[in-house]
Copies of this chain bind each other. A is one copy, B any other.
Amino acid sequence: MTHFAAYEELSEGQIFETDEFLVTSRDIRSFAEQYDPQPMHLDEVAAQQGPFSGVISSGWQTLCLTMRLMVDSRPFGDHPLIGVAVDSIQFKKPVVPDTRIRACAAIVSKRKSAKIGRAFVKLKVRTLNADNNEELLTQIWTVMLVLPSAS
Complex: A63 Cα to B85 Cα, angstroms: 12
Nearest B residue (CB) for A56? B82
| Interface-located stretch among A12-20, A33-41, A98-106, A121-129 | A33-41
**Chain A count of residues within 8 A CB distance of the other chain:** 33
Is the CB–CB distance between B84 and A91 below 8 Å?
yes
Number of copies: 2
Task: State whether A85 and B80 are in contact (beta carbons under 8 Å apart), knowing that A68-B36, A71-B38 are contacts in the complex.
Answer: no
Complex: A59 Cα to B87 Cα, angstroms: 14
Task: State whether A85 and B81 are in contact (beta carbons under 8 Å apart), knowing that A60-B67, A67-B36 are contacts in the complex.
Answer: no
Question: Per-residue 0/1 for A103-117: is the Cβ within 8 Å of any B Cβ (1 yes, 0 no)?
Answer: 000000000000000
Is the CB–CB distance between A60 and B63 below 8 Å?
yes
Is the CB–CB distance between B82 and A51 below 8 Å?
yes
- Spell out A's residues near B (CB within 8 Å): 34-40, 50-51, 58-60, 63-65, 67-68, 71-72, 80-91, 144, 146
What does DSSP make chain A's interface, helix, strand, loop or mixed? mixed
Complex: A35 Cα to B83 Cα, angstroms: 14
Task: State whether A80 and B39 are in contact (beta carbons under 8 Å apart), knowing that A88-B85, A88-B87 are contacts in the complex.
Answer: yes
Is the CB–CB distance between A91 and B85 below 8 Å?
yes
Could you tell me the distance in whole angstroms from the C-beta of A23 to the nearest C-beta in chain B? 13
Nearest 4 A/B pairs, CB to CB:
A86-B89, A35-B64, A35-B68, A38-B80
